[in-house]
Amino acid sequence: MSLLEGRTGSWEVVIGIETHAHVISKAKLFSGAATNFGAEPNSQVSTVDAAFPGMLPVLNRFCVEQAVRTGLGLEAEINLVSVFDRKNYFYADLPPGYQISQYTRPIVGKGRVHIVLADGTARDIGITRLHLEQDAGKSLHDQHPTQTYVDLNRAGVGLMEIVSEPDMRSAEEAGAYVRKLRSILRTLGTCDGNMEEGSLRCDCNVSVRRPGEALGTRCEIKNLNSVRFAMQAIDYEARRQIALIENGGKVAQQTMLFDSARGITRPMRSKEQDYDYRYFPDPDLLPLVLQREWVEQLRAALPELPDARQARFMAEYGLGAPESALLAGESASADYFEAVAKGRDGRLAANWVTGDLAGELNRRGVAIEDTPIAAEALGELLDLIADGTLSGRLAKDVFAAMAETGLGARHIVAERGLQQVTDAGAIERAVDLVLAREAEKVTEYRAGREKLFGFFVGQVMKETTGKANPALVNAILRKRLTS
């Protein structure tokens, strides 16, 4: 159990996350308008989205399919009957004065997400529900000194709100949950998961308690748009609450915003949260009734999900649990790994992807989608190792050059003359040279100082500027020294 230490003892952090995921669909949830990101303001708005008089919503069947597929991917119950409700509130970017959502009867019920932490610990995070709802438009407050502009392109875009149980106990678990959820969504093709574009946003509910005690009062941190910010915000908020309680204060249930520039959470103005939403069933829409056979057809057609992929990585490529979890956790890294590993030594591929490549990406601060070394290029490097052209040591040099130049492995090997020397004659000559030069040490070795063997290997490698095949060097040295 991961605990935070306060001044007066240990505290347990309890986290539940609500995720808003834009449904991948060409049209909006209840209108035929397009949903492309970054289009000209108000260029993707129908009279339904703008809530003109007499306009009526018509449910987009594809969005329903996407929600059901997501529910299946979360191993969740699919509710064959669900109901759309109106959530009423006034805002300029909410044209009808209500958001169509699902309140009491969501389309998806209880499910779970399996997470694996860096130390290999695995847990299931419960999913409470998933429901479909509309996104609002965007208010632009910085376009005019006294007026607000409204862009309705996003108004009516389908969202899946995915609510977790309060099952997470650390920022790390929360981060792993969001990453895993994103990976499932991306694998299913139901949400692109681009948090910086707002396609995926998180609200984190955070409370603290003494281990074993009842749940504390929670605060909700709204609209976190990166995994890193979510983790930072949770950490800050948990420590804020602990300090507050330890100083004799009480946590007030409130909605917080995360100031990413300062790394702190602060309360929203109370006006922004004191709504009575007056939920009631939308009389423009009939209850949504799904056929079980249709759901089963969707289930049968699901792609391989991250957990299944991890299991396959272990079976097919002989990987261990932690590294397979690491690789399968994100579809981009899993795809990358598979492209490298296909037809090659899987464990070697995994070592390179989780080791050198991950290090390089980390150093650059980029995601695997923006890797400077394409999977094909890394595969080529592995081929050169396999056919003996490169030693492991040389391969690392070639890798560094690939990262630096973006060129292919063969190209670099050829250009820099980095091929391994496998010519036994050349190695024998180098060995003889070294042994002749270090005659004193040869005598010591033969007298029993066997540790010196490594020294000789090093000298031979130096003599061949590192290009000698290490296995051959070993074999020839051993033969010469024992003869």
- List of residues contacting another protein (CB under 8 A): 47, 50-59, 86, 88, 90-92, 95-98, 146, 148, 150, 276, 278-280, 283-286
Closest approach of another protein to the CB of residue 267, in Å: 20
Pair of tokens at residue 330 = 């994100």
**Which is closer to another protein, CB of 105 or CB of 112?**
105
**Which is closer to another protein, CB of 62 or CB of 91?**
91
Closest approach of another protein to the CB of residue 201, in Å: 23
Letter for the amino acid at 273?
Q
Residue 158: beta bridge partners?
A: 134
**Which is closer to another protein, CB of 73 or CB of 95?**
95
Closest approach of another protein to the CB of residue 140, in Å: 13
**Which is closer to another protein, CB of 39 or CB of 285?**
285
Closest CA to 282 of 88, 106, 103, 86: 86
**Which is closer to another protein, CB of 52 or CB of 364?**
52
Closest approach of another protein to the CB of residue 152, in Å: 9
Closest approach of another protein to the CB of residue 238, in Å: 30
Closest approach of another protein to the CB of residue 280, in Å: 6
Closest approach of another protein to the CB of residue 67, in Å: 17
Closest approach of another protein to the CB of residue 132, in Å: 14
**Which is closer to another protein, CB of 100 or CB of 108?**
100
**How distant, in Å, are the alpha carbons of 68, 193, 202 from that of 101?**
16, 21, 17
**Which is closer to another protein, CB of 148 or CB of 443?**
148
**Which is closer to another protein, CB of 92 or CB of 302?**
92
Closest approach of another protein to the CB of residue 86, in Å: 5
**Which is closer to another protein, CB of 119 or CB of 274?**
274
Closest approach of another protein to the CB of residue 188, in Å: 27
**Which is closer to another protein, CB of 84 or CB of 229?**
84
